[in-house]
Amino acid sequence: MKITTWNVNSLTARLQHVLDWTAANPVDVLCLQELKLTDDKFPLDALRAAGYPHCAVFGQKTYNGVAIMSREPLRDIVKNIDGYADEHSRVIAATLAGPLGDLRLVNGYFVNGQAPGTPKFDYKMSWLRGLHDYMQGELSRHDWLLLVGDFNIAPEDRDSFDPEGLRETIHHTTEERAQFRRLLELGMCDSFRLFEQPEKSYSWWDYRMLGYPKNRGLRIDHILVSEPLKPQVKGCSIDRTPRKWEKPSDHAPVTIEL
DNA sequence: ATGACGCATCGAATGCGA
């Protein structure tokens, strides 16, 4: 089975891309971030017609918003981080039946954080601590667990087009990377790095300054899997195709095969 | 060079992303 994460940067603006991409890549589950719309505006009918009748949606006007679209039923849907009060719609979790057993899926749009030393960065760090504690509980409750989404963290130097020039800037700071490692230390691994990957693999490119044509990107969209799930992972890859389409999202979809 | 590009918003200039 295949599960994909994709920050679409407005589902209203990107609906046709989502329909075109899923038609060409009929994955079982698509986790979306940055819907930028309220629940009542979520295009349920179009996605049902595209083969995704089961959608768990946690929208928000203008900013944030996450959803899980699935071919098979979703249950035990939880919105946001249990135990962390948040004004933003950033996390949605659900359970689905996999080929060999139940999978727990946590889909997050992590805080951007703007720059170290700003209130937004402080929010990012406290949000990450809240997520860590929440994931610790999720891991105790579920053997097969995936944490997917737009992490807004480039975990290592090789995940950035300019690790020296961007050292200790947003997405690259020691604090953010330490929080990423703390998630791994709970008993998860970065599925992308379980496999041989092309050099300079990124999942996001700035719209400005010819970011994509110059491959000036960052790998900030990730799929972490729990330790028991690790032997089941057959592959993980980034699809740059839709980044080349007209009016693309600045993020590319990342897909795991189980 | 805090600007570029793109999206959203009670309709234009601004906030935000990363």
Q: Which of A52, A109, A134, A212 is catalytic?
A: A109
CA of A139 to C1' of B7 (A): 36
Judge whether residue A98 has pLDDT over 90: no
Q: Which of A28, A52, A150, A212 is catalytic?
A: A150
In b/e form, how buried is each residue of A3-41, taking b as 16+ CB within 10 angstroms?
A: bbbbbbbebeebeebbeebbeeeebbbbbbbbbbbeeee
Torsion (CA) A82, A96, A12, A246 in degrees, nearest 10: 120
Residue nearest to nucleotide B8 (CA to C1'): A62
Q: Annotated catalytic, A109?
A: yes
Over pLDDT 70: what percentage of chain A? 100
- Is residue A123 annotated as part of the catalytic site, yes or no? no
Q: Which pLDDT band, with edges at 50, 70 and 90, does A99 fall under?
A: confident
pLDDT-derived band at A100 (thresholds 50, 70, 90) equals confident
pTM: 0.97
Q: pLDDT, tens digit, for every residue of A134-167? A: 999 999 999 999 999 999 999 999 999 999 999 9
